């Protein structure tokens, strides 16, 4: 009788220990995703803060390119107002990236603008921020992958369903961000 009770207790303790470890692992991965999303948000806000300065610098040199400048401001405002979900942010940021490409193309058409130190500094800062955004997106997507994998692995998937852990979506660029914009002068 005692050996059977000891075996049942050992199995019960092992199951409870596994449940605790699995739960803590899911919480850790979910928090990692939230942290990664926060890092994307920080970099996107930094990018949005740089854009008005860049537009003001370009205005003095390319006053008749108002349509491009208006498109950048409109895309920036849409990115600021976009819902805080990966899909909505990706769509808004893709549109903004396209308009920024057009803005930088103006620098090629206006040699004085291209030589302006403010424009060059802002362009470099924005390019640096773009790299940070790309890294933050990659880190976020890696975190989502690890979390979603954990949710689908047996036997964690059983506990995850019981505890209502849900899959997360990736931050994916929309089609507009994947295409090269057409710039005409």
Q: What is the pLDDT of residues 80-101, one digit of tens each?
A: 888 888 888 888 888 888 888 8
Q: What is the pLDDT of residue 174?
A: 61
Rounded Cα distance between 116 and 107, Å, is 10
pLDDT in tens, 25-54: 999 999 999 999 999 988 888 888 888 888
Rg (CA), the chain: 24
Alpha-carbon torsion, ordered 137, 69, 118, 100, to 10 deg: 20
pLDDT of residue 9: 94
CATH 3.30.420.40 fits 19-178, yes or no: no
pTM: 0.71
8 A C-beta contact, residue 50 and residue 132 = no
C-alpha 47/C-alpha 4 separation (Å) is 64
| Nearest one of 90, 71, 79 to 49, comparing CA atoms | 79
Average pLDDT of the chain is 84
126: which 2 tokens? 């924005």
106 and 86 in contact (C-beta within 8 Å)?
no
In this predicted model, what pLDDT tens digit does every residue of 148-169 receive, in sequence order?
A: 999 999 888 988 998 899 999 9
Q: What are the residue ranges spanned by the domains of the chain?
A: 19-178
Burial of 145 per CB tally in 10 Å (0-12, 13-18, 19+): middle
């Amino acid at each position: 009788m005692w050996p059977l009770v000891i075996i049942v207790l050992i199995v019960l303790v092992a199951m409870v220990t596994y449940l605790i470890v699995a739960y803590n692992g899911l919480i850790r991965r979910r928090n990692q995703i939230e942290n990664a999303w926060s890092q994307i948000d920080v970099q996107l806000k930094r990018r949005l803060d740089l854009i008005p300065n860049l537009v003001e610098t370009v205005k003095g040199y390319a006053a008749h390119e108002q349509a491009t400048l208006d498109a950048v401001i409109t895309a920036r405002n849409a990115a600021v107002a976009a819902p805080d979900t990966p899909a909505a942010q990706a769509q808004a940021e893709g549109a903004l990236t396209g308009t920024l490409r057009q803005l930088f193309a103006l620098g090629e058409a206006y040699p004085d603008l291209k030589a302006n130190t403010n424009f060059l500094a802002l362009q470099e800062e924005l390019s640096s921020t773009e790299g940070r955004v790309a890294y933050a997106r990659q880190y976020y997507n890696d975190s989502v992958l690890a979390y979603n994998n954990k949710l689908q692995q047996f036997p964690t998937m059983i506990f995850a369903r019981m505890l209502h852990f849900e899959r997360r979506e990736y931050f994916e660029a929309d089609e507009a961000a994947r295409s090269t914009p057409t710039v005409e002068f």
